[in-house]
Amino acid sequence: MFRRLGRVAAVAALILPLAAFSPQNPECIAPANPGGGWDFTCRTVGKLLTDTGLVSGQVQVTNMTGAVGAVAYANVASKRSDDPDLVVATSTVGITQIAQGKYPAGVDAMRWLAMLGADVGVVLVQKDSKFNSLQDLLAALKADPGSVVAAGSSGVGGWDHLRLLMLLEKAGMATDQLKSVKWVEFSGGGDAVTQLMGGHIGVVSTDIGEIGGFIQSGDVKVLGVMSGDRLEAFPDAPTAKEQGVDFEGYNWRGFYMGGKVSDEAYDGWLAIMQKLYESKEWQETAKSKGLTPIWRGGKDFEAFVRQSEENMRKVSKAIGVIK
Amino acid sequence: METLGFLAHGFAVAFTPLNIVLALIGCFLGTIIGALPGLGPVNGVAILIPVAFSLQLAPASALILLSCVYYGCMYGGRISSIMLNIPGDEPAMMTCLDGYPMAQKGKAPEALAISAIASFVGAILATIGLVLFAPLLVRFAIHFGPAEYFALYVLAFATIGGITGTNPAKTLLAAALGLALGTVGIDPQSGVPRFTFGVFELFDGFDAIVAIVGLFAISEVLVLLEEGHGGISARAVRVSRAFAQGREIAASAGAMLRGSVIGFVAGVLPGAGASLGSFLAYTMEKRYSDRRGTFGKGDPRGVAAPEAGNNAAAGGALVPMLSLGVPGSGTTAVLLALLISLNITPGPLLFQKEPDVVWGLIASLFFANFVLIAMNLPLVGLFTRMLAIPMWALMPFVVMVSFVGIYSISHSPFDLFMMVLFGVLGYVLRKLAIPVVPVVLGLLLGADMESNFRRALSISGGDYAILFQSGIAIGLYVLTLLFLALAVFLGMRERRPPGAEPEPAHD
């Protein structure tokens, strides 16, 4: 009884400061088609925000497809940069695009709100591959960078490609060798793994969430997971860190708002997102979707976005994707 | 026999009163959505996902609702192809080629009935194939790498010249135009924008459905405007008895079976899909059985083959989606997203981990198809009555639906401009008697062909030998050569005097 009262009080304490700001017609733009990762971010977070009562009413999800998010970025920058009701889903992929100058404006055009979770990068090979560790793969690639064909769900210079190269560089591969590693794009992580099983390619770098089933069924072998600690869902999969390669390659999911929104709206949404992140519902939902709940918000997140953008730009230059 | 036990369990899951009602609703909505130009299975399923969520349906029920919508769309797409010469969705495009001429000859009821039966045959055979061979098919599908997919597309494009028959040079010109349009957008391999002129809306290239609605529907309206009221009399066609004759159905049985097999195989291959399935089913059938040059002029087999093909491909596409988590088409991509948001991860373990969902879904596919055939045959009479509506009353409605449909996909006014531009392009092409179907095929299939070509070359480091290294690829090239040789041979034997055959007004 007292415990329940305590919980009510705690909830009230959480909600009361929110009274200062509450979005009137909350809207989330998913800069992709229904079914994609950004769409999933908007719909899942939107539904949880309503279910947990953190916002009143439904969160409207608008799909604004185009140019890997550039259409939405341009639209928000030019037409809705001060809209207090609007958040836009983004992820590491969006920052990659900005780092390579593929968005109409830089990171300064928006206010970066928060990340709530991340999908984790993984390096996979065929189940009967001769490679048993990242070091095996590294040794082969160092001897002949073209000897193993790598693939993933992004094009040359996309995040699946970049994070594999960043991992290899961290593991000791020479920067000028990076661009000689063969890379093939497939339309999704599942496609790439299927091609791996068929023996058409040698190694896959992609998000673990989408292809977890293949790891559990033993159809593919994990060389390394790009996270700080082993993942709960895949306790047998070794991390890169364990193998002496201190690299984390997350594909985080988060949100930005227009560059001219008021501090009141920004702080209000920040508080809402933080409450959501701390809720049991989000922690469970995130884990069930193969995401690792990770929080970065406000200034901390803005700094993180800037730092990531800079790192990506460096590697992109090294492999000649940008000048 | 284990399989039968699973299937029986599936029927037990599927046959709850709620699920039956959902299946009926799904089939009906799907047929309507499929029949409306611009709205296809991708939109249908995407629109209903939030509905399934807000009704808080159980995973099996949600999947049943949406797979019924999916199949309903595959059935519905053919209706506007036959009645209006406007495909309801991409895979239904091939049905225009013979379905519309049949309707013009007053054989609309036959065309609708045969296509409904062909859809049913294709879907049921594909579902049986899914039940019996899913694990085997998966092992077959993974042998298809970029080089093999490229060979498959070579086969498809080699047969493109024959699809409209009248003037192969114009057909090839149209296909080349489609291929050229298909290069617009971000290059998926390198991320470099091509022919986009800095316009962000062009970065994703031309959407095939925007092109289809523009080329078929909008250009039809432009032609009608020009012809004025003269266009009306052309539609006052005689309508024959309300149902297909058993003889005609029997004559198409072979086409249905062959179309089903080709479509199913195309569906199983994640890099192929329903559009390629219905296209290959049509061109193969034409090569195989068009002895008297009746294809393209209202041959029932030209309706049966692609309809069986696209429905079988829809079933086939579920094989890689369920057992590999790899969508073989746009619609299965949306279904995949639904599964994931229902907390079900498709993949190699799905059949073991979620037997209720998988077998409930399969049982509901059987059920959906029986509902659809039972629903569609009596509706033939209703749809035929559309012919009684004069064009000047019908077409504004079609245009309105086209605009709403396209806008509902992307919420982008830019796509509406593109649709109108494609309409003008379609009008010009029609005036030059250049068929529009190959334009869309080039646009739809060209990008995939190019991607696989370049993937193969990235793997080999630029060595073209990779294209000819596997047995599957070589087999496909041999098949391509055989078809080309057959075309030349038949052309020499049956060469008709040039000009003997009038160009059809509408392709």
| Section B353-368 average pLDDT | 83
Comparing A111 with B202, the larger pLDDT belongs to A111
- For A50, A64, A249, B407, the CA distances from B411, given in Å and listed in that order, are 24, 7, 34, 5
Asked if residues B371 and B27 have their Cβ atoms less than 8 Å apart, the reply is yes
Residue A226 reports pLDDT greater than 90:
yes
Residue A76 reports pLDDT greater than 70:
yes
Q: What is the pLDDT of residue B164?
A: 62
| Section B115-127 average pLDDT | 92
The two tokens of residue B335 are: 């279904």
Q: What is the pLDDT of residue B162?
A: 64
What ranges do the domains of chain B cover? 2-493
Q: What is the pLDDT of residue B268?
A: 85
CB atoms within 10 A of CB B500: 6
CA–CA separation, A240 and B17 (whole Å): 52
Residue B474 reports pLDDT greater than 70:
yes
Residue A277 reports pLDDT greater than 60:
yes
Calculate the average pLDDT of chain B. 81
Counting one residue from A and one from B, how many pairs have CB atoms under 8 Å apart? 140
In sequence order, the 6+-apart residues with CB closer than 8 A to the CB of B434 are: B170, B173, B174, B507
Q: ipTM of the assembly? A: 0.77
Contact A71 B201 (CB under 8 A): yes
Asked whether this chain's domains A2-118+251-318 and A120-243 adopt the same fold, the reply is: yes
Helix locations, B214-329, DSSP H: 219-227, 230-235, 246-268, 274-289, 300-324
| Section A90-102 average pLDDT | 89
User: Given CB atoms, is A235 within the 8 Å cutoff of chain B?
Assistant: no
Residue B392 reports pLDDT greater than 80:
no
* SS3 label, residue B186: strand
**Percent of chain A whose predicted confidence (pLDDT) is above 90:** 34
Residue B501 reports pLDDT greater than 50:
no
**Percent of chain B whose predicted confidence (pLDDT) is above 90:** 11
Instruction: Output the CATH code of domain A120-243.
Output: 3.40.190.10
Residue A140 reports pLDDT greater than 90:
yes
Q: Which residue is closest to A158 within chain B, CA to CA?
A: B191
| Section A176-197 average pLDDT | 88
Residue B108 reports pLDDT greater than 90:
no
pLDDT band for position B244 (cuts 50, 70, 90): low
| Section B233-248 average pLDDT | 55
Query: Which DSSP symbol is given to B502?
Result: P
Residue B232 reports pLDDT greater than 60:
no
- Distance (Å) from the C-alpha of residue B219 to the closest C-alpha of chain A? 26
User: Given CB atoms, is B412 within the 8 Å cutoff of chain A?
Assistant: yes
For B459, which of A44, A67, A149 is closest by C-beta distance?
A149
Angle (CA) B349 B351 B352, round 5°: 65
What ranges do the domains of chain A cover? 2-118+251-318, 120-243
Instruction: Say which residue the tokens 């509506």 belong to.
Output: B389
CA–CA separation, B158 and B283 (whole Å): 10
Which of A27, A29, A33 best tests the B interface by mutation, with the highest count of B CBs <10 A? A33
Q: Which residue is closest to B339 within chain A, CA to CA?
A: A35
Domain A2-118+251-318 in CATH: superfamily? Answer: Bordetella uptake gene, domain 1 (3.40.190.150)
Which of A41, A185, A288 best tests the B interface by mutation, with the highest count of B CBs <10 A? A185
- For B22, B315, B368, B384, the CA distances from B27, given in Å and listed in that order, are 8, 15, 7, 20
User: Given CB atoms, is B336 within the 8 Å cutoff of chain A?
Assistant: yes
A258 pairs with which residues across the strands? A110
Contact A155 B190 (CB under 8 A): yes
Residue A6 reports pLDDT greater than 60:
no
Strands A149-152, A203-207: pairing is: parallel
User: Given CB atoms, is B489 within the 8 Å cutoff of chain A?
Assistant: no
For B458, which of A184, A199, A288 is closest by C-beta distance?
A184
pLDDT tens track for B154-175: 888 887 766 666 677 888 888 8
Instruction: Say which residue the tokens 């939405």 belong to.
Output: A72
Calculate the average pLDDT of chain A. 85
Contact B270 A194 (CB under 8 A): yes
| Section A160-175 average pLDDT | 91
CA–CA separation, A151 and B338 (whole Å): 26
CA–CA separation, A152 and B329 (whole Å): 19
Residue A176 reports pLDDT greater than 90:
no
Residue B363 reports pLDDT greater than 90:
no
CA–CA separation, B507 and B498 (whole Å): 19
- Distance (Å) from the C-alpha of residue A69 to the closest C-alpha of chain B? 10
Residue A17 reports pLDDT greater than 80:
no
Contact list, A157 vs chain B (CB under 8 Å): 190-191
Q: What is the pLDDT of residue B387?
A: 67
Which of A65, A183, A219 best tests the B interface by mutation, with the highest count of B CBs <10 A? A65
Residue A150 reports pLDDT greater than 90:
yes
Which of A183, A200, A204, A316 best tests the B interface by mutation, with the highest count of B CBs <10 A? A200
Contact B145 A195 (CB under 8 A): yes
Q: Supply the pTM of this predicted model.
A: 0.78
User: Given CB atoms, is B321 within the 8 Å cutoff of chain A?
Assistant: no
The two tokens of residue B105 are: 């000859």
Q: What is the pLDDT of residue B239?
A: 52
CA–CA separation, B325 and A290 (whole Å): 14
- The residue among A109, A68, A100, A69 whose CA lies nearest residue A314 is A100
| Section B317-331 average pLDDT | 77
Comparing A15 with B457, the larger pLDDT belongs to B457
Contact A195 B411 (CB under 8 A): no
- Distance (Å) from the C-alpha of residue B33 to the closest C-alpha of chain A? 17
